[in-house]
Amino acid sequence: MPPEEIAPGIYILHERDGARLATRSSDPVPVYGERIHNGYRLWDPYRSKLAALILKGKWQTLPLKSNSRVLYLGASTGTTVSHVADIVSEGLVYAVEFSARSMRDLVRLCERRKNIIPILADAAKPEEYAPLLEPVDLVYQDVAQRNQAQIASLNCARYLGQGGELCLMLKSRSVDTTAPPQAVLQSELKKLEGLELIKVMNLEPFHLDHWAVRARWNPGPSEGAIDFIQPIIL
């Protein structure tokens, strides 16, 4: 069976042992040890929270097109960044990472992927990389810091246009190790400023105590409703 495109640039490969999520790359070289099949890079939901979100959301993905511009906060060594770059093949991914060690690996990836711009910076200080960016369509954040909601709000206010979206991978244990994860989630959602909430999804069983928060930039007086989806064991 040929690959099934479930969203622009995102595919399901039907193999003997089951269906596998994948992206197609013009440079089909493994980035983190993933398997390559006829130019398609398998996308591991246990290694990538975005892959987990796509699978848990029944393949309802973020509004990414081939020419989208993405601000990726917490790029690390480029595992998920590389798949996002596959999807926005004619766009740009601004990849912000604070760790110099991780940045070395990310830079090596960027030497092969010309649509990834590596930025060594603190995501909590978005003004520092303002000269390097233009407005983006999506802010994607995967940062293990206590002030995750504040970081998201600051970057959205500076770089998202009206109707642009945030995808925040909220790590509750990075915010508070003692409070129940659901309580941490509720507290952090209240700190998101200028954002209309679209959906909140638990990422179990792929990632424990992690929530995917989707929101739309709408700095008006109205507040969006939260759509909670309970964990589904796949």
- Per-residue pLDDT of 53-81, as tens digits, reads 998 886 666 789 999 999 999 999 999 99
Cα–Cα nearest to 165, from 143, 125, 136: 136
- Per-residue pLDDT of 150-164, as tens digits, reads 999 999 999 998 889
- Identify the weakest region by mean pLDDT among 16-30, 98-112, 159-173, 218-232: 218-232
Residue 36 CA to residue 55 CA, distance in Å, equals: 19
Domains of the chain: 44-229 (3.40.50.150)
Question: In Å, how far from its chain's centre is CA 31?
Answer: 17
- Per-residue pLDDT of 95-153, as tens digits, reads 999 999 999 999 999 999 999 999 999 999 999 999 999 999 999 999 988 889 999 99
